[in-house]
Amino acid sequence: MTETELEAQETVDARGAACPGPLMDLIGKIRSVDPGTVVLLLSDNDQSKTDVPEWAEESGNEVLGIEERDDHYAFYVEKT
């Protein structure tokens, strides 16, 4: 099985940040980009696995994919 080929135009590296830091960093970046932009959030906080999808659904943005990497998670979120 091959890894999903997702490309992001912007990256937010929130590894090491306590909750809700990663989500707050993502929200700030999403607000500053144009619709259609894909933002990659890097987070090693387990709470992000539920926070990011819940926020995306509430805010109308779309989680394109979540990858579990060696020591962190990668969230691909498209601003709608």
Of 19, 47, 54, 57, the catalytic one is 19
* Sheet with 73-78, edge to edge strand ranges: 10-13, 38-43, 73-78, 62-68
Q: Decide if 39 is catalytic.
A: no
pTM (2 d.p.): 0.92
Name the one residue in this structure whose structure tokens are 């995306």.
56
CA dihedral 2, 56, 16, 38 (to 10 degrees): 50
Phi, psi of 40 (to 5 degrees): -100, 120
- Mean pLDDT for 70-80 is 97
pLDDT beyond 60 at 3: no
Closest Cα partner for 56 from 38, 70, 73? Answer: 38
